[in-house]
Amino acid sequence: MLSILYVDDSQTQLEAMSEALASSQYKLSTASTLQEAKERMVQSKPELVIIDYHMPTISGDECMRALRRLAPETTRFYLYTTDANAFRRHREMGFDGVLMLKGKSPVRAQIDAVARIMTHYRVG
């Protein structure tokens, strides 16, 4: 079972992600602040972290860098955004991948594709 941490300041988006993954094989935890995200990172050691790009107190890439310091080496970080510029720059910001069209596309299908790749390349 793939463990996922989703970080977003929007309660609506957190609920939408929870609903999208409710009947899945994923173990989802959510956080709306960097402090909560750090706590969840330490507690659950997720394999996949999905981070909103635009948050009022911290940018997605700053959040990712803070969480990466706490994460196992195998944890993958994905940006979740509608921002085309952030989409183009996700690699240079340090993200492993990007989920696009936040709130407008079937995120479950995107996560399923990422999970298949992660499972295929999982060592051990």
Strands 48-52 and 3-7: parallel
DSSP assigned state of 81: E
- Indicate the residue type of 58: I
In order of start, what are the domains of the chain with their CATH numbers?
A: 3-121 (3.40.50.2300)
Q: Can you give the pTM of this predicted structure? A: 0.88
- 20-46: average pLDDT: 92
The sign one gets for the Cα dihedral 40, 46, 52, 57 is positive
Strands 27-31 and 76-81: unpaired
Angle, helices 84-93/60-68, rounded to nearest 10 degrees: 20
108-119 pLDDT per residue, tens? 788 888 888 887
46-99 pLDDT per residue, tens? 999 999 998 888 899 999 999 999 999 999 999 998 888 888 889 999 999 998
User: Does 26 score more than 80 pLDDT?
Assistant: yes
What phi and psi values does residue 108 have, to the nearest 5 degrees? -60, -45
